[in-house]
Amino acid sequence: MGKKILIIGAVALGPKAACRARRLDPEAEILLIDRDDVISYGGCGIPYYVSGDVSDRKSLLTTVYHVVRDPGFFKAYKRVDVRTRTEALAIDRKAKTVRLKNLDTGAEESAAYDVLVLATGSNPFVPPVPGANLKGCLPIANMHHADAVKNAVQAGKVGTAVVVGAGAIGIEMCEALADLWGIETTLVEMVPQVLPQALGSDFARIVQHEIERAGVRVLLGDTVTEVLDDGNGNVRGVVTKNAGEIPCEMVIFAVGSRPNTTLAREAGLALGQFGGVLVDARMRTSDPNIYAGGDCVEIRHLVSGQNVHMPLGSMANRQGRVIGSNITGGGARFDGAVGSFVIRAFGLAAARAGLTEKQASAAGFDPVYAIIPTTDRAHFFPGAKMLYLKLIADRTSRRVLGIEAVCENGDAAKARVDAVAAILPFRPTADQISNLEVAYAPPYAQAMDVLNATANALENILDGRCKAMGVEEFLEGFHAGKYRVVDTRVARGAKACTEKYPGVWQSFPQEDIPGRLDELPKGGDVVMFCNSGVRSYDSQCFLMSEGIDLPHVQGGWLMLKSFEPGFQALDVPEGGEEGDEGH
């Protein structure tokens, strides 16, 4: 008799663990159950199915080679038994059995296991507001939700929609609804920025403008307090705390998910602070005969050292293989994660790994950061896109804590983030990223890649050689009348600003500064400015040697205009205003 392996949950981790276990142990009796009738689907593809990017629903349910991953597939190809519409009611850890219920017949039975795997996933969180159960209100957590949304929009029943939550799924659903279907969409987010878990507020603003440019109304720092009934049990609108009533026919809740751990909790397994099952680096729970992984567990964050809940299909797949190895006698490890993330938001992509500044502060670090906006490939190469890169480090240890990237070219953003993510577990310093070896050819990178250049800038900040101010701090102070600006661009680059803010915004082209030291504005609150930060940093170095200590605005005009497109109406001619040769 082979080892009895029972796996609860058949979306991502469950099938992966089952198939890996089968390959390693031909004798094992493997049973995979799921309460749904749709299994092993590409849940992350749902927004693209709704949008029409993915036109064929079936493609989310099939292999790369178009074979539907149904129980017959698993039986024929993987020699794994699958029972769908089967719910696990309770675990008897002592007897090593699970009570199963057939949801179609109502029949119950007890299944014995030698090893049990919990792949119970997470439940979408629906905020407890009045009306949240009306018809037309739904989360996006499985194919049934996807079908409901797609059927409604395809039937032309949805002219306006409200999406609650500006995380990845919320933004992807905005794109799906607004971009292809032309649905008037409002995005409501409680935190005063989009992607609050993924990006700092400055980069988040760039993404926000992209969402708004596409016609989506974005309400930040706001919450839905009520969903309104049309009298027939259908949604007719929402009320938000700040914006009042917003008519709509559909409300999508995308405010995150909670680990689905009812079974685990009732069986007395150890749970963590986020309610996820606690597992060791072998993905084993507090019961040595039970493993767990995917959306239902907490994992270690390899930068902060804290536990986190990281529900991602890629995590589930990698962990599933580790579990499949270990339940058949292997010694595979999953030590944790650094939080790599990428999203397409209309025409932009945003990617990150590690911690944002806020997360770094909360974890007890003293974060500083550098931002460089420059092209994703050689500046002379056609099709070059602006890539905004941010590196965050701990001031004391110089350890790099996080990276964020925003670019039209998503693969280019991802390339930089993935490279840094790979070494984050090795605790690299900023200096190591300065020499990080990225492949170079003009169609794909600059000779001094944006990644190296940003690390160079970060080193300079850590060394106290560069006194840097973020664009948010600058704009807040500038609009409050606090700062005077020394603009080191060539005169015609600075012209629009100097004309609009006479006496406050002054042109000091970099090359003229040595001869015009006496003219520099005196006193505090003078800020250096240029197009991207290179000229102003160069000027800062010179001025420091003259005993003059002025901060410069990180990312200069390129960050400012991306952060606040309405800063001034005149369009500043780009080009002709910078020296480079770097940081």
Rank residues 313 and 477 by Cβ distance to a second copy and give the closer one: 313
Minimum distance from residue 119 beta carbon to a second copy (Å):
14
128 contacts: CB under 8 Å, gap ≥ 6: none
Rank residues 224 and 543 by Cβ distance to a second copy and give the closer one: 543
Minimum distance from residue 357 beta carbon to a second copy (Å):
19
Rank residues 78 and 309 by Cβ distance to a second copy and give the closer one: 78
Residue 419 has φ and ψ, to the nearest 5°, of -65, -45
Rank residues 439 and 480 by Cβ distance to a second copy and give the closer one: 439
Minimum distance from residue 483 beta carbon to a second copy (Å):
24
Rank residues 60 and 238 by Cβ distance to a second copy and give the closer one: 60
Minimum distance from residue 233 beta carbon to a second copy (Å):
34
Report which of 84, 111, 109, 85 is spatially closest to residue 15, judged by C-alpha positions.
Answer: 84
The H or E element that residue 553 is part of is strand 552-553
E runs forming strands in 34-159:
81-83, 86-92, 97-102, 108-112, 115-118, 122-124, 137-139
Query: Half-sphere exposure (CA, 13 Å, Cβ side) for 261?
Result: 27
Question: Are 322 and 370 contacting, i.e. CB atoms less than 8 angstroms apart?
Answer: no
Question: Are 374 and 532 contacting, i.e. CB atoms less than 8 angstroms apart?
Answer: yes
Query: Half-sphere exposure (CA, 13 Å, Cβ side) for 59?
Result: 12
Minimum distance from residue 327 beta carbon to a second copy (Å):
16
174 to 248, 394, 408: CA distances (angstroms): 14, 35, 18
Minimum distance from residue 109 beta carbon to a second copy (Å):
27
Report which of 459, 448, 194 is spatially closest to residue 343, judged by C-alpha positions.
Answer: 194
Which 8-state DSSP code applies to residue 68?
B
Alpha-carbon distance of 535 to 549, in angstroms, equals 15
Structure tokens at 491: 């005169």
Rank residues 40 and 97 by Cβ distance to a second copy and give the closer one: 40
Rank residues 233 and 347 by Cβ distance to a second copy and give the closer one: 347
Rank residues 131 and 324 by Cβ distance to a second copy and give the closer one: 324
Minimum distance from residue 108 beta carbon to a second copy (Å):
30
Minimum distance from residue 410 beta carbon to a second copy (Å):
5
